[in-house]
């Protein structure tokens, strides 16, 4: 099989070898590779009509639908750059991402989302997904505008330590090198049918799920969102071979399977050959419960927006719970001392660094952040802490940066703090993560109020966040305090807050 260096080469390969093979199913619709390529060609024409050119950024503010896939490929056919935007993002995130990326066009699904884009005062042209028909076949692309392998394919905005997210630039080579590694490691072929309930606007759904399907010319059964009962019903039909999810999805599948068993109903996963978990730590307990109920050992892997997939438990060897395995083929990973930046021996905890063709080329218009992210030998500092066993398995133990991961979504405390700080009743605020059975971690804000009474203030502050940020970033709890614990330099001592929160439960 010839190597593909761009998503468009992968699409072209699939269309040339197997035009009628099933690429995507969604609700009542299905698309062959040829049909999707024709739809992508129409998207390309539409984008060109509104003035989008090679190298321009096009934001995709769309939920999971076939239009997302057609537009994604249409943007690439034109050699333009995809900027996926979480549809839960509100004013604060939208304003930053759309202005920072200077998106030339923004593709939306409905009027409500168009209104949010207007409110964010974005300069790009709004295009409704319904403006381009996906049906009816039609002419295939002429491939003449296809991007170069080293062209930027995607800018993935990732939560920033400063409170403003940074755009990680991934080239087509990055995407396809990672897809080659992932598909090889997981024995993914054109015979696979992936059930994809993850959102396409993040790297897990897009970089692993969609690109892997395209790379193998396999089939993806795309869903608008995750629903445990639907997923189990789908497994029972026996057509699906793979499922990728975040740990919260697995705990919900376990709960749903138990409910069914207790009602005397069967839980069947006959056609399934692989369950993958990532984006957040999978607890050994979830791993064991899933194995007991479903008879499968979940394969846990570790990735990031900047690098797509880094480490994976083996397909054939031991899938060791609590670990994220070893580097994918063609990639490297190591542990370094956080202070001296020198490699550490096995068994010692330090920062995880990775290197290889999958690693992004830098942050969009942010040379300083790019310089800080890499060392002189080209190793990327992941900001995650962990250790390596003598037989090569990596375990993640924590994070060098402040980050809350809730249900696989990343939340930077600083971003929530900045929004809360703007409320007139907030004198001081610190946001931390607290353990949560369903989402892994939950957002908790400790607030020093300006007012004497705090009646009704907790809900008011939660609603304040909900209208300005993605709803999953809002605090689940607000604790009022008379002061924040600070060190001699005036920095908030978050470890003390963690203890206080635990004891206040």
Residues in contact with ligand MLC by the rule CB under 6 A: 198-199, 202-205, 225-226, 246, 248-249, 278-279, 303-304, 406-409, 439, 471-472
Per CB under 6 A, 302 contacts ligand AMP: yes
Q: Which does 418 bind (CB under 5 to 8 A by kind): ligand AMP, ligand MLC, none?
A: none
Please, which residue, 117 or 203, has the CB nearer to ligand MLC? 203
Distances (CA, A) of 32 to 35, 199, 345, 480: 5, 21, 50, 56
Please, which residue, 217 or 403, has the CB nearer to ligand MLC? 403
Query: Which range in 227-235, 261-269, 279-287, 429-437 contacts ligand AMP by CB under 6 A?
Result: 279-287
Coil vs helix vs strand at 103: coil
Q: Which does 189 bind (CB under 5 to 8 A by kind): ligand AMP, ligand MLC, none?
A: none
Distances (CA, A) of 357 to 42, 178, 284, 362: 32, 7, 31, 13
Identified binder of ligand AMP from the candidate list 304, 469, 470, 501, rule CB under 6 A: 304
Residue bearing tokens 């001592």: 493
Q: Which of residues 343-382 bind ligand AMP (CB under 6 A)?
A: 382
Cβ(163)–Cβ(412) below 8 Å: yes
Please, which residue, 109 or 407, has the CB nearer to ligand MLC? 407
Per CB under 6 A, 93 contacts ligand AMP: no
3-state helix, strand, coil in the chain (%, to 5): 35, 25, 40
Angle at 324 between CA 320 and CA 326, to 5 degrees: 95
Per CB under 6 A, 66 contacts ligand AMP: no
DSSP run (H or E) holding 221 = strand 219-222
Cβ(57)–Cβ(83) below 8 Å: yes
Query: Which range in 232-240, 299-307, 369-377, 442-450 contacts ligand AMP by CB under 6 A?
Result: 299-307
Could you tell me which of 115, 121, 8 has the C-alpha nearest to residue 72?
Answer: 8
CA pair distance 6, 211, nearest whole angstrom: 10
105-108 and 125-128 strand pairing: parallel
Please, which residue, 12 or 202, has the CB nearer to ligand AMP? 202
CA pair distance 364, 306, nearest whole angstrom: 12
Query: Which range in 92-100, 212-220, 276-284, 440-448 contacts ligand AMP by CB under 6 A?
Result: 276-284
As given in the structure block, the two tokens for residue 122 are 């974005």
Please, which residue, 386 or 407, has the CB nearer to ligand MLC? 407
Per CB under 6 A, 415 contacts ligand AMP: no
Task: Dump the DSSP string for 159-184.
Answer: --TTSS-EEEEEEHHHHHHHHHHHHH
Q: Which does 472 bind (CB under 5 to 8 A by kind): ligand AMP, ligand MLC, none?
A: ligand MLC
Please, which residue, 224 or 499, has the CB nearer to ligand MLC? 224
Ranked by CB distance to ligand MLC, the top (closest) residue is 407
Quick count: other Cβ atoms within 10 Å of Cβ 336?
18
For 242-300, what is the HEC assignment? EEEECHHHHHHHHHHHHHHHHCCCCCCCCCCCEEEECCCCCCHHHHHHHHHHHCCCCEE
Least separation in angstroms between CB 73 and ligand AMP: 22
Please, which residue, 33 or 157, has the CB nearer to ligand MLC? 157
Task: Dump the DSSP string for 408-454.
Answer: TEEE-HHHHHHHHHTSTTEEEEEEEEEEETTTEEEEEEEEEESSS--
Per CB under 6 A, 324 contacts ligand AMP: yes
Identified binder of ligand AMP from the candidate list 278, 327, 362, 413, rule CB under 6 A: 278
Least separation in angstroms between CB 452 and ligand MLC: 29
DSSP run (H or E) holding 229 = helix 228-237
Please, which residue, 55 or 284, has the CB nearer to ligand AMP? 284
Identified binder of ligand AMP from the candidate list 245, 281, 362, 475, rule CB under 6 A: 281
Least separation in angstroms between CB 462 and ligand MLC: 8
Per CB under 6 A, 154 contacts ligand AMP: no
Q: Which does 300 bind (CB under 5 to 8 A by kind): ligand MLC, ligand AMP, none?
A: ligand AMP
Q: Which does 471 bind (CB under 5 to 8 A by kind): ligand MLC, ligand AMP, none?
A: ligand MLC
Task: Dump the DSSP string for 364-377.
Answer: TT-HHHHHHHB-TT
Q: Which does 93 bind (CB under 5 to 8 A by kind): ligand AMP, ligand MLC, none?
A: none
Partners of 353 in beta bridges: 334, 381
Interface with ligand AMP (CB under 6 A), residue total 18
Ranked by CB distance to ligand AMP, the top (closest) residue is 305
Site residues for ligand AMP per CB under 6 A: 158, 203, 278-281, 300, 302-305, 324, 382, 384, 396, 399, 405, 410
């Amino acid at each position: 099989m010839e190597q593909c260096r761009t998503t468009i080469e992968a699409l072209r390969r699939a269309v040339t070898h197997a035009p009628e093979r099933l690429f995507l199913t969604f609700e009542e619709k299905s698309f062959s590779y040829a049909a999707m390529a024709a739809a992508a060609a129409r998207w390309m024409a539409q984008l060109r009509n509104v003035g989008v050119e090679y190298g321009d950024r096009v934001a995709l503010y769309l939920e999971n639908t076939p239009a997302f896939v057609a537009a994604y490929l249409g943007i690439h056919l034109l050699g333009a750059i995809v900027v996926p935007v979480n549809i839960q993002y509100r004013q604060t995130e939208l304003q930053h991402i759309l202005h920072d990326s200077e998106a030339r066009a923004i593709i939306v699904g409905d009027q409500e989302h168009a209104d949010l884009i207007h409110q964010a005062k974005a300069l790009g042209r709004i295009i409704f997904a319904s403006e381009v028909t996906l049906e009816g076949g039609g002419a295939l692309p002429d491939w003449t505008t296809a991007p170069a392998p080293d062209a930027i394919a995607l800018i993935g905005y990732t939560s920033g330590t400063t409170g403003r997210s940074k755009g990680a630039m991934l080239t087509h080579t990055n995407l396809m090198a990672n897809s080659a590694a992932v598909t090889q490691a997981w024995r993914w072929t054109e015979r696979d049918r992936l059930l994809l309930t993850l959102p396409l606007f993040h790297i897990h759904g897009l970089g692993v799920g969609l690109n892997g399907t395209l790379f193998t010319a396999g089939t993806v059964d795309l869903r608008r969102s995750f629903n445990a009962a639907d997923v189990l019903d789908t497994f029972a039909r026996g057509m699906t071979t793979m499922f990728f999810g975040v740990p919260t999805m697995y705990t919900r599948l376990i709960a749903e399977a138990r409910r069914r068993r207790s009602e005397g109903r069967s839980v069947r996963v006959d056609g399934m050959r692989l369950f993958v978990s990532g984006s957040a730590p999978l607890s050994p307990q979830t791993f064991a419960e899933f194995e007991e109920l479903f008879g499968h050992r979940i394969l846990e892997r570790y990735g990031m927006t900047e690098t797509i997939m880094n480490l994976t438990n083996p397909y054939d060897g031991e899938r060791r719970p609590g670990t994220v395995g070893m580097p994918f083929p063609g990639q490297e990973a190591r542990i370094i001392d956080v202070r001296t930046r020198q490699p550490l021996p096995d068994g010692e905890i330090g920062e995880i660094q990775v290197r290889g063709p999958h690693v992004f080329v830098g942050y969009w218009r942010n040379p300083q952040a790019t310089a800080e992210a890499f060392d002189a030998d080209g190793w990327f500092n992941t900001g995650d802490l962990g250790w390596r066993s003598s037989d090569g398995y990596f375990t993640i133990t924590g994070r060098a940066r402040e980050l809350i991961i809730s249900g696989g979504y990343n939340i930077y405390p600083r971003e929530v703090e900045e929004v809360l700080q703007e409320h007139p009743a907030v004198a001081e605020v610190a946001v931390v993560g607290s353990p949560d059975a369903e989402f892994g971690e939950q957002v908790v804000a400790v607030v020093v109020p300006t007012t004497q009474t705090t009646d009704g203030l907790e809900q008011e502050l939660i609603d304040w966040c909900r209208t300005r940020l993605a709803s999953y970033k809002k605090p689940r709890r607000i604790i009022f305090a008379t002061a924040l614990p600070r060190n001699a330099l005036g920095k908030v001592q978050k470890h003390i807050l963690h203890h206080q929160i635990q004891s206040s439960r």
